[in-house]
Amino acid sequence: MRRFTSKLTLPVAALAFASLAGGCNQQNPYLTQGSGASTLGQAQQQPPAELAQLYDMRYRAGSLDSDHGDLVGRMAQMEQERQILQDQVRLLQKQLTEVATQLREERLARAETGKQVEILEASTRRRGGATITANTSNQDALPLVDAPGLQLRKDGDVVRIELPADQLFGSGTAQFHQGAYGLLDRAASVIAQNYPQQIVVVEGHTSNAPTPGGRYSNHELAAAQATAVFNQLTQRNHLPEDQLKILAHGPTQPLVSNANTAGQAKNRRVELVIYPETVER
């Protein structure tokens, strides 16, 4: 019986101490006003000025967040506009480069045309030390030979070999078709075998239709085509340069009317005009 009572002594003492402490807290005004509970209440109830300052700081923080978001959005928009401007600048630079290239090509083309005009002006003068000598004794005897695949005709005291420009060149150019070389080879063979000493004038003729693209005049195109034929006959076919001359008529000497496309095609031609006069070497 004594052992059971001793086991209850510790819990009962603890309960009594807690009750005593509680009673003391209620009766002691210094504990209620001056220790932990009073301090916590003061922290929760701040003065109005400090509370207003806190609200103001929160408002300013919210405004800064909003301004930051607007700034980020404006920066993204400005970056997009900058990229668009860069693309436009690159496009303008490309266009300027293309224009500069086109102008350079046109200058070269005009310079080449000027050289061709000089060639035309010199076509009636002496070439390579050779002189043209009249050969009146056999003017009427200049033969008209049969040349399959070529159009030859007598025109007074000269013989003309007619080469259709559409069979030689691309439309409005002085660039040869692949099949043009065979036609020029046959014409060169006729001249070498039958007219080895006669003066041959390479004449360029066009229709009166504007050249494609309007880049060259008809006279310029005629000169360029006649020059191309001259170069082929002297370089590829090895006809003597002092035997050949160049002359560009453009649309001034049509064979037929230019009233329709068939007539215009007939008038676009290069003629190898063989004269009775010979070259002295």
- Cβ(250)–Cβ(205) under 8 Å? yes
pLDDT of residue 148 exceeding 70, the answer is yes
The predicted pLDDT at position 264 comes to 95
Architecture of domain 122-280: 2-Layer Sandwich (3.30)
- Cβ(198)–Cβ(274) under 8 Å? yes
Neighbours of 269 (CB within 10 A): 25
Percentages of the chain per state (helix, strand, coil), in multiples of 5: 60, 15, 20
Tell me the chain's radius of gyration from C-alpha atoms.
53
Phi then psi dihedrals of residue 4, to 5 deg: -65, -40
Average pLDDT of the residues in 81-98? 82
d(CA 191, CA 16): 146
Residue 130, helix vs strand vs coil: strand
pLDDT of residue 128 exceeding 50, the answer is no
Average pLDDT of the residues in 254-265? 95
Average pLDDT of the residues in 217-239? 96
- Cβ(113)–Cβ(220) under 8 Å? yes
User: Mean of the per-residue pLDDT values for the chain?
Assistant: 78
Is the backbone of residue 158 left (phi > 0), alpha (psi -120 to 50) or beta? beta
pTM score? 0.54
